[in-house]
């Protein structure tokens, strides 16, 4: 049996767990390789490096960074206070699908671990068609949610993931579309789902992916119990001295890959230290000294305003240092408010170091109050601080360490390599432990959002790094408009910045750099604008057209052939600008009655013949413009009954855009971005489904 384990990265808790599994399997005689992705700076092609036990898939940095930039542009500044844990969207396809598929063909079992940004729907479908034995281990919730890795108490994944509480606004519907894509893909796979904690397995059972009880199995993490073991008393004293700990000092260790993650709960640790410092004031402090040792990215803000309490931050540390810390420490502090089955807890306990933690997630699966640590029964600062102060009393620490070492002597084999490998091989070889691969009900129905999602998360082949910058800025611009709209409402006339409506435009040729007017582009023979309006909007499309004689001549020709409509209902044209103006403004004004609020609307522009003959220009262009944007005319009305003043609206629109090239000079460096090959396709290709057609599909 040839086994391939796949993780996105070569670091992190999930990778550590997966590599330990691979080592356990190899020690039992199984053939097992570990595959991960590597962002390769300067590379232009995908390549594969093979070692004895590992496969590194090298992806050009300009390609790999796409999904990360997409998530960053969409989510940063758009997060609610609920959580700051990373969100990730499920790819429809990737550039490396074929590479991964070719590698997977060599193996009998494909075991997926943490695979965000790495494994796509297309790859999973093809593996399912090949009949490969597929296994997933959920190291967090992302396998069955729309985007989050930890739900922060939300269970919208049991339905549709709409209205994600971790985002201020999901204005393109990416979270719900991601869930629909996962359901449509994974519900048709014959696969086994493993979870390292009862909590996570139960959450999965509530999801829409669960359909076969036998296919959902509880399998805790493992480690090498020969390495993670308590130090003998004299060796432990020497180790504490070597690490700089005082003889009668309570050594409390805490850490995570990223201590700045809210779910890691370091705010509770900081509060507990403040409480301890206050309680140790005066003579009482002579009774107990404490050192809090933290590790990982992000230094916690521990004030330690007491001569009896100190803080040491080690930063990221390697495995050998972790073992030494746990052998020397008196207690592991784990203030997480969301946690699966933590590697850190298992490592600490097998080194004989008890754990103090909240009774959340997968923690109670292994930590038992009074047996190998202290469980805080409610997530509150008061309770955590109180239990912490009691736990670090010398007698309490000594007693709990003795109990923890006794627990370890009895249970270490349950997490050690031999028993774990036997359990995993049994799962691999048991055909009954798989989901039905339902052919039964159809996948979740497609929504208009899904076309946006598929275009964004499909195979990305940008030309260079600059293209990403353009994409990122475009998403940020639309995101800010969407977020701003939530502050005072879309139709309020006071906020000029709300004049713009987030919209996706299709039917634009490559932009060009004009000597006088800066960035210009051609509107194609057939074009469209897709947007999601709210009730009360008065959408209008404005094209800013250079007032050059040859440009206006082409505009006049095109207008004789141009037809426009919103959702199939005719729209009218309004032209603003005189012969002495720098620009002419062409407005496309739909009938408000043709608007359908809270869903995607399609504004179509169709020219019966292009400005140039096809023999002269294959792009079938019809209008040259300097800028195009969709505005809400209602934002400039003095009263709900007033008629739009299109000239005022135009001025408002120009102020809103804050363009660099409307004066006598323009910023050549910024406009240089227009030369990026895909810049003009940023939004038009996102909604290929929405290209205008005779059928008027939307």
d(CA 657, CA 544): 11
Give the pLDDT of residue 488.
44
**648 and 552 Cβ atoms separated by less than 8 Å:** no
Give the pLDDT of residue 654.
38
Give the pLDDT of residue 458.
66
**148 and 173 Cβ atoms separated by less than 8 Å:** no
Question: Is the model's pLDDT at 428 over the cut of 70?
Answer: yes
Q: Which residues of 439-456 are buried (b: 16+ CB within 10 A; e: fewer)?
A: eeeeebeebbbbbbbbbb
d(CA 662, CA 415): 67
Question: Is the model's pLDDT at 475 over the cut of 80?
Answer: no
What mean pLDDT comes out for the span 679-697? 29
Strands of 289-297's sheet in order across: 309-313, 289-297, 249-258, 331-334, 355-358, 373-376
Between vectors from CA 692 to CA 689 and to CA 697, what angle results, nearest 5°? 60
Question: Is the model's pLDDT at 204 over the cut of 90?
Answer: yes
d(CA 252, CA 256): 14
Give the pLDDT of residue 331.
97
Give the pLDDT of residue 676.
27
Question: Is the model's pLDDT at 375 over the cut of 90?
Answer: yes
d(CA 85, CA 134): 28
Give the pLDDT of residue 209.
87
Give the pLDDT of residue 551.
83
d(CA 10, CA 438): 33
Question: Is the model's pLDDT at 615 over the cut of 80?
Answer: no
d(CA 686, CA 698): 14
Q: Over pLDDT 90: what percentage of the chain?
A: 50
What mean pLDDT comes out for the span 628-648? 56
d(CA 519, CA 515): 9
Residue ranges of alpha helices (H) inside 429-464 are 448-457
pLDDT digits (tens, 9 = 90+) for 661-681: 333 233 333 333 332 222 222
Give the pLDDT of residue 492.
36
Q: Over pLDDT 70: what percentage of the chain?
A: 78
> For residue 324, how many C-alpha atoms fall within 13 Å in the half-sphere facing its CB?
16
Give the pLDDT of residue 547.
81
Q: What is the H or E stretch that residue 550 is in?
A: helix 549-559
Give the pLDDT of residue 249.
92
Closest CA to 109 of 10, 183, 21, 224: 21
**Angle between helix 174-186 and 448-457 (nearest 10):** 80
User: φ, ψ for residue 576 (rounded to 5)?
Assistant: -125, 135
Residue 239, C-beta contacts closer than 8 angstroms, at least 6 positions apart: 231, 324, 327, 328
What mean pLDDT comes out for the span 554-580? 84
pLDDT digits (tens, 9 = 90+) for 205-220: 999 888 788 899 999 9
Phi-psi label, residue 413: left if phi above 0, alpha if psi -120 to 50, beta otherwise: alpha
pLDDT digits (tens, 9 = 90+) for 520-536: 777 878 888 878 788 88
Question: Is the model's pLDDT at 306 over the cut of 70?
Answer: yes
pLDDT band at 449 (very low <50, low <70, confident <90, very high): confident
pLDDT digits (tens, 9 = 90+) for 381-419: 999 999 999 999 999 999 999 999 999 999 999 999 999
What mean pLDDT comes out for the span 28-34? 97
Question: Is the model's pLDDT at 314 over the cut of 70?
Answer: yes
d(CA 434, CA 337): 32
User: What are the structural domains, with CATH classification, of the chain?
Assistant: 2-222+430-436 (3.40.50.2000), 233-412 (3.40.50.2000), 464-690 (no CATH)
Q: Which of 133-142, 274-283, 485-494 shows the lowest mean pLDDT across its residues? A: 485-494
pLDDT digits (tens, 9 = 90+) for 37-71: 999 877 889 999 999 999 999 998 767 877 787 78
What mean pLDDT comes out for the span 323-334? 97
d(CA 613, CA 621): 9
What mean pLDDT comes out for the span 192-208? 95
pLDDT digits (tens, 9 = 90+) for 150-165: 999 999 999 999 999 9
Give the pLDDT of residue 509.
67
d(CA 402, CA 407): 9
User: In whole numbers, what is the pLDDT of the chain averaged over residues?
Assistant: 81
**Residue predicted with more confidence, 305 or 291:** 291
Q: Which letter does DSSP use for residue 570 in this model? A: E
Give the pLDDT of residue 542.
82
**Residue predicted with more confidence, 592 or 223:** 223
């Amino acid at each position: 049996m040839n086994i391939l384990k796949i993780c996105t990265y070569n670091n992190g808790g999930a990778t550590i767990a997966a590599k330990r599994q691979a080592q356990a399997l190899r020690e039992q005689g199984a053939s097992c390789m570990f595959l991960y992705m590597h962002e390769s700076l300067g590379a232009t092609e995908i390549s594969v490096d093979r070692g004895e036990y590992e496969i590194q898939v090298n992806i050009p940095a300009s390609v790999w960074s796409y999904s990360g930039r997409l998530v960053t542009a969409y989510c940063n500044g758009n997060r609610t206070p609920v959580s700051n844990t990373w969100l990730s969207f499920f790819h429809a396809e990737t550039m490396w699908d074929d590479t991964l598929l070719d590698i997977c063909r060599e193996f009998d079992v494909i075991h997926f671990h943490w695979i965000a940004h790495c494994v796509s729907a297309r790859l999973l479908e093809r593996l399912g068609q090949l009949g490969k034995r597929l296994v997933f281990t959920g190291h967090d919730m992302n396998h069955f949610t729309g985007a989050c890795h930890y739900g922060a108490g939300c269970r919208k994944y049991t339905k549709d993931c709409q209205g994600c509480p971790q985002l201020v606004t999901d204005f393109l519907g990416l979270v719900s579309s991601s869930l629909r894509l996962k359901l449509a893909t994974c519900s048709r796979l014959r696969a086994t789902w493993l979870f390292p904690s009862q909590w996570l397995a139960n959450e999965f059972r509530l999801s829409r992916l669960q359909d076969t009880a036998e296919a959902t199995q509880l399998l805790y993490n493992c480690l090498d119990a020969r390495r993670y073991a308590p130090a003998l008393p004299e060796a432990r004293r020497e180790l504490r001295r070597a690490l700089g700990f005082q003889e009668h000092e309570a050594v409390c260790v805490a850490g995570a890959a990223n201590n700045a993650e809210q779910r890691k709960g370091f705010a509770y640790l900081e509060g507990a230290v403040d409480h301890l410092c206050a309680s140790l004031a005066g003579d009482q402090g002579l009774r107990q000294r404490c050192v809090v040792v933290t590790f990982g990215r992000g230094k916690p803000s521990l004030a330690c305003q007491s001569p009896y309490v100190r803080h040491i931050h080690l930063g990221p540390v390697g495995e050998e240092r972790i073992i030494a810390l746990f052998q020397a420490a008196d207690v592991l502090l784990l203030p997480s408010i969301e946690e699966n089955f933590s590697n850190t807890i298992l490592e600490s306990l097998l080194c004989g170091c008890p754990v103090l933690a909240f009774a959340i997630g997968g923690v109670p699966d292994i930590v038992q109050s009074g047996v190998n640590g202290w469980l805080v029964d409610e997530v509150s600062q008061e309770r955590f601080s109180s239990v912490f102060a009691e736990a670090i009393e010398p007698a309490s620490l000594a007693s709990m360490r003795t109990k923890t070492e006794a627990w370890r002597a009895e249970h270490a084999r349950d997490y050690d390599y031999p028993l774990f490998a036997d359990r995993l091989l049994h799962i691999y070889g048991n055909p009954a432990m798989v989901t039905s691969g339902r052919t039964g009900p159809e996948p979740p129905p497609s929504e208009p959002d899904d076309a946006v999602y598929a275009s964004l998360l499909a195979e990305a082949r940008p030309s260079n790094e600059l293209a990403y910058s353009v994409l990122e800025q475009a998403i940020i611009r639309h995101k800010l408009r969407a977020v701003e709209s939530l502050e005072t409402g879309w139709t309020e006339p006071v906020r000029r910045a709300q004049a713009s409506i987030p919209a996706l435009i299709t039917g634009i040729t490559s932009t060009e750099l004009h000597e006088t007017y800066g960035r210009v582009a051609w509107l194609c023979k057939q074009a469209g604008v897709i947007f999601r309006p709210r009730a009360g909007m008065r959408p209008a499309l404005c094209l800013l057209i250079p007032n050059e004689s040859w440009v206006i001549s082409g505009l006049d020709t095109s207008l004789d052939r141009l037809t426009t409509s919103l959702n199939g209902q005719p729209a009218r044209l309004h032209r603003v600008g005189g012969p002495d103006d720098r620009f002419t403004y062409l407005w496309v004004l739909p009938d408000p009655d043709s608007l359908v609020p809270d869903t995607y609307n399609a504004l179509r522009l169709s020219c019966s013949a292009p400005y140039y003959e096809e023999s002269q220009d294959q792009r079938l262009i019809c209008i040259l413009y300097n800028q195009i944007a969709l505005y809400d005319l209602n934002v400039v009305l003095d009263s709900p009954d007033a008629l739009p003043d299109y000239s005022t609206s135009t001025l408002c629109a120009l102020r809103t855009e804050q363009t660099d090239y409307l004066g006598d000079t323009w910023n050549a460096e910024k406009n240089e971005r227009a030369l990026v090959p895909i810049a003009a396709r940023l939004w038009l290709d996102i909604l290929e489904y929405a290209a205008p057609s005779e059928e008027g599909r939307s």
